[in-house]
Amino acid sequence: MSKYQVDANGFYGEFGGAFIPEMLYPNIEELRQEYRQILSSESFQQEYQQLLRDYVGRPTPLYFASRLSEHYGARIYLKREDLCHTGAHKVNNTVGQILLARHLGKSRIIAETGAGQHGVATATVCALMGMPCIVYMGEVDIARQAPNVARMKMLGAEVRPARSGSRTLKDATNEAIRDWINNPEDTHYIIGSVVGPHPYPDLVARLQAIISEEIKEQLLAAEGTEDPDVLVACVGGGSNAAGTYYHYLDREHVEIIAAEAAGLGVDTGESAATSALGKMGIIHASKTLLMQTDDGQITEPYSISAGLDYPGVGPLHAHLFKSGRAKFVPVTDAEAMEAGQELARLEGIIPAIETAHGFAVLKKGHIAKDSLAVINLSGRGDKDLQTYMDYFKLSE
């Protein structure tokens, strides 16, 4: 049994579990009992693989970045999740979960979203399947993320504002959970990352594992080996990273690097670097590393990247950090923005700002000369153009 897979009780080492209110128990229990069997069934796999191919556009290329490689003196491949339909890896998960929902006999979908990317990916698959979609989103986030709100509405989803607390992601999640408790019969809750109560972290990791499944095959064809020296991904909740690492977790000779958002700097009070700043706590019904005050109040995180602006990290990643299996590298806003511009100018690819955090590990010297590296290009930067423009004063 792998040290890095979830155990029978839903834990990765000391992290994970399902710390849920009593009223949520039937929903979670139904999912826990059914998910593995459904995911491995032939009918699920057939439909999932077909949609990944014809709708999402998989397999995504593994691209040898020659100018970037030359610049850093390494052999660098990019896994092009930015070329997925909707522009990022998140749709791998929502396609899988909506099929799971149908197998469970559910007819109504709910989701939470912060930056809106997961809301868009969920609204997309609901339109595809003709299922009603309700996305809970903090009132503050609705105002900040207007283009994604417009996308969700265009796709036919209902966006319900969360008006309590700080009116951001945490509050949207609370509203979604309340909805689920009130509608246990017909509703499936699609969580957007490897977070939340067991079995969600494992479910989402399995649905994103297609990323490393393809990397193995593609690297073998290109380089004659399945194993790079080092794998790099950015970590918000941790789903694109979990997918990138999944089939390599037990291959300890493959180094794993996780780039996390340090905001203005780890020690500035304006950061989202969970491994550096987090302590054991419970968020979204899961025991994990969490940024909190001395008396256990969740600290408001900060990052220029909306998708990494999360005060915790999935329990798998807390375990990878604690066990030393993964090296966590905090990346500041400025380092990420520079890396994003560098990738645009060297390779003609504008990455999402989340993704740019992963590329910053190059300039920070974490990729040894001559090594074979794979960096997961989790999403495209179209949604971030205004932020790039403002940051680099490109409109002047």
Ligand X SMILES: *Cc1c(COP(=O)(O)O)cnc(C)c1O
Residue nearest to ligand X (CB): 379
- What distance in Å separates the CA atoms of residue 226 and residue 218, rounded to the nearest whole number? 8
CA atoms of 15 and 320, how far apart (whole Å) = 10
CA-to-CA distance for 232 and 376, rounded, in angstroms? 6
Among residues 90, 106, 170, 287, the one annotated as catalytic is 90
Closer CB to ligand X, 103 or 274, in the complex: 274
Task: Output 10 or 237, the one with its CB closest to ligand X.
Answer: 237
Binding site for ligand X (CB under 6 A): 88, 90, 117, 193, 234-241, 307-308, 352, 354-355, 378-379
Q: How far is the CB of 113 from ligand X (least distance, A)?
A: 9
User: How far apart are alpha carbons 260 and 82 in whole angstroms?
Assistant: 19
Q: Which is nearer to ligand X, 349 or 352 (CB)?
A: 352
CB-wise, 292 or 378, nearer to ligand X? 378
Place of tokens 């909707």: 86
- CB of residue 358 vs ligand X: minimum separation in angstroms? 9
CA–CA dist 100, 106 (Å, integer): 9
Closest CA to 110 of 39, 181, 206: 181
Q: Which amino acid is at 166?
A: S
Task: Tell me how crowded residue 213 is: count the other CB atoms within 10 A of its CB.
Answer: 14
What does the block give as tokens for 277?
Answer: 């700043």
Instruction: Choose the catalytic residue: 79, 81, 106, 112.
Output: 112
Name the active-site residue from 239, 271, 275, 378: 378
Closest by CA to 368, choosing from 76, 80, 78, is: 76
- Contact between 375 and 356 (Cβ < 8 Å): no
Query: How far lies 37's CA from each of 102, 136, 193, 225, 248, in Å?
Result: 14, 29, 21, 32, 23
Nearer to ligand X by Cβ, of 52 and 234: the residue is: 234
Active site residue 378: yes
Give the nearest distance from C-beta 115 to ligand X in angstroms: 7
In the complex, minimum distance from the CB of residue 78 to ligand X, in angstroms, rounded to a whole number: 13
**Three-class secondary structure of residue 115 per DSSP:** coil
Q: How far is the CB of 70 from ligand X (least distance, A)?
A: 26
How many Cβ atoms from other residues are within 10 Å of residue 70's Cβ? 11
Q: What whole-number distance in Å separates Cα of residue 221 and Cα of residue 159?
A: 44
Q: How far apart are CA 88 and CA 351, in angstroms?
A: 10
Q: Whose Cβ is closer to ligand X: residue 59's or residue 358's?
A: 358
Catalytic sites, residue numbers: 90, 112, 378
